[in-house]
Amino acid sequence: MRIDTISRPQDTIRQFILDSVNLPDLDDDFDIFETGIVNSLFAIELMTFLEKAFNIKVTMDDLDMANFKTVNTTAQFVLNKQGASGV
Amino acid sequence: MFNHHLLTQQQKADYKRFREYVKEYVEPFASEWDKQQGVPRSVIEKCAEAGFVGGIIPKEYGGGGWDTVTFGLLNEAFGAASSSLCGLFTVQTMVAMTISRWGSEEQKKQWLEPMAKGKVIGSFAMTEPKVGSDIQSIETTFTPQGENYLLNGTKRWITYSGLADIFLVFGKNEDKSMACIIPSNAPGVKVIPIRDMLGFRGAYLSQLEFTDCLITPSDLVGKPGLVIAYVAPYGLHYGRVSTAWSSTGLHRACVETASSYASERRQFGEPIMEHGLIRELLTDMVVEMEAARSLCLSGSIADDAHMPDAMEKILMAKYYASRAASRAAANTIQAMGAAGCHEENRAAEYYRNAKIMEIIEGTNQVLQRVLGKSFARKYKKKS
């Protein structure tokens, strides 16, 4: 699996989700957990992907489904983490 | 000897050390532990002194800081001789790695160092009398009382809970999943040993009853409501790493037993190894063992590289390796005939333990449910 983070966080995150669920397209405000398109492992897979792709560490305080429910909220979470850590 | 080209020199050296230890301190006694239905605490203490009980715990908390591959190799080496002892590495790692990832700094300092040294044994208390794989339906309750909680419920079939010093307990407060650490000697905790299991007889399975146990906020692990999504899968993941590799060790023991027997046993004037049907059995056993090892290695290397698909790869490894070990154990008994059906021969014990591998850390039917859903999506051709 190649992880490319040169593009905007939204693009990187969207592509990971699309690859994971094999969908042709995904709206950046689509709630991926409410709609059942992902399996029970996906929460941790997404977390692991974010940590590796964006060089961040997801902590217990970050655990809030609101952070990860859409491409846009996840991208905002990543930007906040990077801003907080100076990445 | 498992000598894969993808292993590092250090991993190969560690594996050699594990095998030598098992040959001297485990193999000669494992059958007796099974018969006595308990691995002696002194055996666990000796393993701890050798650094095996907390090998995967981070170095900063007194552990060995092993990678996942090395932890897997430990399980392969020990799994060939004693599934019961290997079960200790399974549950200790499930609890320790959960605390390491999701525990508070205070919890890490309090528990990980003694766990790394084997002074504290942890047990992963999830399964209940009415709830197995369907963890969303868990019935153990955390009832708020001021800023604290009262823990009530029953856990069953909990590996090493009869010997453990602490339990990682999963439950719910209304619809919010929760988890806590509770010492085994806390008020309101009752441990009832379960004997005469089919396999893992030396692994201290017990029923745990919690009655109005006081749980403070500092005892909680993970955020309420997110325990099933994040905390439980993390522990189960390492349980599956252990079970998958341990299955390949058990598989190897079956191959060695069947090969030795088939070389010595003579029928129709020649060793039964010369018979085509026995060769077919052994061929299938060894090819499947190699396939299982490859899946275990692939998943563990992915885990060490922190790849997002590591968890799914380990699920596949556990699914395949446990089924393959079960087939190998059945084939070993088939090759040995009546001799394989008596407890004086370890093939019978392998057969009993192999069946357990297909059930623990998610039954293989539940893994089919998860993996099948994932694969159906992943491999569907895009229109």
Sign of CA dihedral B336, B338, B341, B342: negative
DSSP letters spanning B110-177: IIIHHHHTTSS-EEEE---SS-SS-GGG---EEEEETTEEEEEEEEEEETTTTT-SEEEEEEEETTEE
A54: tokens are 């964006």
pLDDT at A5 over 60: no
SS3 label, residue B315: helix
Q: Which of A46, A48, A62, A74 should be substituted to probe chain B, the one whose Cβ sees the most B Cβ atoms within 10 Å?
A: A48
Report the pLDDT value the prediction gives residue B342, as an integer from 0 to 100: 92
Per-residue pLDDT of chain B (383 residues; tens, 9 = 90+): 677 788 999 999 999 999 999 999 999 999 999 999 999 999 999 999 999 999 999 999 999 999 999 999 999 999 999 999 999 999 999 999 999 999 999 999 999 999 999 999 999 999 999 988 778 889 999 999 999 999 999 999 999 999 999 999 999 999 999 999 999 999 999 999 999 999 999 999 999 999 999 999 999 999 999 999 899 999 999 999 999 999 999 999 999 999 999 998 988 888 988 888 899 999 999 999 999 999 999 999 999 999 999 999 999 999 999 999 999 999 999 999 999 999 989 999 999 999 999 999 989 999 999 899 888 888 887 66
B369 part of contact set with chain A, CB < 8 Å: no
pLDDT for B70 = 98
Fold designation for B123-224: Butyryl-CoA Dehydrogenase, subunit A; domain 2 (2.40.110)
Three-state SS at B60? helix
Tell me: ipTM over 0.90.
Answer: no
Give the pLDDT score at B374: 85
Contacts of B336 (CB under 8 A, 6+ apart): B257, B258, B261, B265, B345, B347
Residues with Cβ within 8 Å of B10's Cβ and at least 6 positions away in sequence, in order, are B70
Comparing CB atoms, the residue among B308, B377, B380 nearest residue A45 is: B308
Distances (CA, A) of B94 to B7, B124, B226, B233, B356: 24, 7, 18, 10, 17
B109 CB burial (10 A radius; 0-12, 13-18, 19+): exposed
* CA-wise closest residue to B367 among B236, B235, B231: B236
Distance between CA atoms of residues B257 and B253, nearest Å:
6
Query: Beta partners for B220?
Result: B180
Top CATH class of B9-121 equals mainly alpha
Which residues have CB under 8 Å from B31's CB, separation 6+? Answer: B346, B349
Q: Are A36 and A22 in contact (CB under 8 A)?
A: no
User: Please, are residues B197 and B205 in contact by the beta-carbon 8 Å criterion?
Assistant: yes
What is the fold, at CATH topology level, of the domain defined by B228-375? Butyryl-CoA Dehydrogenase, subunit A; domain 3 (1.20.140)
Which residue in chain B has the smallest CA separation from A52? B306
Mean pLDDT within A13-41:
85
Other beta carbons less than 10 A from residue B119's beta carbon? 14
Q: Which two tokens stand for residue B264?
A: 């010595």
pLDDT at position A24: 82
Residue A87: per-residue pLDDT: 52
Task: Return residue ranges of chain B for CATH 1.20.140.10.
Answer: 228-375
Across the A:B interface, residue pairs with CB atoms under 8 Å apart total: 64
CB contact under 8 A, A40 and B370: yes
pLDDT of the residue at B378: 82
Give the model's pLDDT for residue B216.
Answer: 98
DSSP H/E element including B243: helix B232-264
| pLDDT confidence of residue A20 | 85
* Angstrom distances, CA of residue A69 to CA of A73, A74, B337: 7, 7, 57
Nearest to A45 among B222, B309, B380 (CB): B309
> Which residues of chain B does A52 touch, with a Cβ-Cβ cutoff of 8 Å?
306-308
CA-based nearest residue to B167, from B129, B115, B132:
B115
A7 has pLDDT over 90: no
What pLDDT score was predicted for residue B274?
87
Say how far apart CA B85 and CA B71 lie, in whole Å: 14
Query: Cβ A40–B309 below 8 Å, yes or no?
Result: no
Residue B15's pLDDT is: 97
Q: Where in chain B is the domain with CATH 2.40.110.10?
A: 123-224
Task: Answer whether residue A1 shows pLDDT above 60.
Answer: no
**Predicted local distance difference test score (pLDDT) of residue A68:** 92
* Closest B-chain CA to A66: B226
**Is B136 near chain A, with CB under 8 Å?**
no
Indicate the class that CATH gives domain A25-82.
Answer: mainly alpha
Is residue B232 within 8 angstroms of chain A, CB to CB? Answer: no
Position B382 scores a pLDDT of 67
The full set of domain ranges for chain A reads 25-82
pLDDT class of A67 with cuts at 50, 70, 90: very high
| Average pLDDT value for chain A | 86
